[in-house]
């Protein structure tokens, strides 16, 4: 296997090479972490439609020899995924209904979500998008135009959210073009980018990307997806600080995951580490009941107890809102616990 040094100068080719060199099998991942003889090796499974995918910078943050590593647990495909469980479905958010055009999900007032890219740089095993029909939402130039026409025709839309898949898999020039086309729509004021790429490949935060986001007329927010403090590398912090200096708002959302971050101390440390990196905790999501992810579910009582402890320990601005998504609701549901 080709191992790419992580300390190269940051440019576009580096992140693309790191993506191309990502680990693509559970066995390989276990070998890299010297876990090939651990009991975990007997629990591997997976799903050909949602293969293992983990870039090396993320692997480098895992602890060698630790089968409980919270980063490993998020990306290792286990046999448990194949079990059918009552209540766990392929489209838990009923997003197909809000999929108003190819590549456009319009569920909430004032903001619209564009599926800017079909894939991700990492396949998180708990992901609610693992069964999403990306093939029907492949966004070529023609679909781009249709999506932009939809936004232009809906004057209530003031915020465009680029999501996916992961929009930061687009290269800088494609992204710049898309952002420009969005900025050309008068009634859009804000651009939001939901991404996990910089977490698994911090080299993605190129100088060109920073300049492009800073130069836009739109008020821009980057929402990262980090679940555990160990995911925050010094390279990531460096890139985020540069974005903050350019006036980009930085938020984070997490998912509450059994075996990963279902511990009050870990969640509090996460909030602190996020803030130190320049990110405000935005949402803590309850796991969506997607088929194949039941082993990440934290029972309601335990979730409530964890959140109450966070309330006691954290200043208000470091307490993420605990939310879930209920199909048909016009907003995310804030859980009162
Ligand atoms: C979560 C989500 C949003 C954004 O919701 P906020 O509460 O504004 O963060 C927008 N569209 C869709 C389809 C979503 O799932
Ligand atoms: S990066 Fe986000 S969308 Fe992609 S697999 Fe992970 S959780 Fe899902």
Dump pLDDT digits (tens) for 281-318: 999 999 988 888 999 999 999 999 999 999 999 999 99
Interatomic CA distance for residues 208 and 10, integer angstroms: 10
Per-residue pLDDT reduced to its tens digit, 153-168: 999 999 999 998 899 9
Model pTM above 0.85: yes
The domain defined by 95-334 folds into TIM Barrel (3.20.20)
Task: Give me the mean pLDDT over the 183-198 stretch.
Answer: 98
Whole-number Å distance between alpha carbons of 161 and 116: 9
Q: Where are the domains of the chain?
A: 8-82, 95-334
Ligand 2 nearest atom to the CA of residue 120, by list position: 4
Bridge partners, 334 (sequence order): 323
CA atoms within 13 A on the CB side of 172: 17
Q: What's the 73 CA to ligand 2 centre distance in angstroms?
A: 14
In the block, which residue shows the tokens 């009582």? 301
3 state SS of 335 = coil
- Name residues contacting ligand 1 (CB within 6 A): 105, 107-108, 111, 113, 161, 332
CA distances from 33 to 29, 37, 78 (A): 6, 11, 16
Residue 139: how many other CB atoms lie within 10 Å = 22
Strand-pair partners of 194: 223
| Centre of ligand 2 from the C-alpha of residue 163, in Å | 10
The alpha carbon of 292 and the centre of ligand 2 are apart by a number of angstroms equal to 14
CA–CA dist 54, 64 (Å, integer) = 15
**Going by CA atoms, what residue is nearest to atom 3 of ligand 2?**
165
- Tokens representing residue 11 in the block: 């440019």
Pocket mutation for ligand 1, best pick of 164, 332, 334 (most atoms within 8 Å of C-beta): 332
């Amino acid at each position: 296997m080709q191992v790419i040094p992580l300390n190269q100068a940051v440019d576009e080719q580096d992140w693309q090479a790191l993506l191309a060199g990502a680990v693509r099998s559970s066995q390989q991942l276990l070998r890299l972490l010297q876990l090939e003889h651990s009991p975990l090796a007997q629990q591997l499974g997976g799903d050909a439609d949602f293969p293992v995918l983990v870039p090396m910078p993320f692997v480098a943050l895992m602890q060698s020899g630790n089968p409980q590593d919270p980063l490993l647990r998020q990306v290792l495909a286990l046999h448990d995924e194949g079990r059918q469980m009552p209540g766990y479905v392929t489209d838990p958010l009923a997003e197909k209904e809000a999929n108003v055009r190819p590549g456009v999900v319009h569920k909430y007032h004032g903001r619209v979500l564009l599926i800017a890219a079909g894939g991700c740089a990492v396949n998180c095993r708990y992901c609610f998008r693992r069964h999403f029909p990306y093939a029907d939402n492949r966004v070529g130039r023609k679909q781009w135009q249709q999506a932009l026409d939809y936004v232009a025709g809906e004057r209530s839309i003031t915020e465009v959210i680029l999501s996916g898949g992961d929009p930061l898999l687009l290269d800088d020039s494609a992204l710049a073009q898309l952002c420009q086309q969005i900025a050309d729509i008068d009634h859009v004021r804000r651009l939001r980018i939901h991404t996990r790429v910089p977490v698994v490949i911090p080299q993605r935060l190129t100088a060109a990307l920073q300049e492009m986001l800073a130069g836009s007329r739109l008020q821009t927010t980057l929402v990262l997806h980090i679940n555990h403090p160990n995911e925050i590398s010094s390279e990531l912090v460096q890139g985020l600080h540069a974005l903050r200096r350019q006036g980009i708002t930085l938020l984070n959302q997490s998912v509450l995951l059994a075996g990963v971050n279902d511990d009050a101390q870990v969640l509090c440390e996460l909030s602190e580490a996020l803030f130190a990196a320049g990110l405000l905790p935005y949402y803590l999501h309850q796991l969506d009941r997607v088929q194949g992810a039941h082993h990440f579910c934290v029972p309601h009582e335990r979730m409530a107890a964890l959140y109450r402890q966070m309330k006691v320990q954290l200043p208000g601005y470091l307490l993420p809102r605990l939310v879930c998504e209920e199909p048909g609701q016009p907003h995310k549901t804030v859980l009162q616990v």
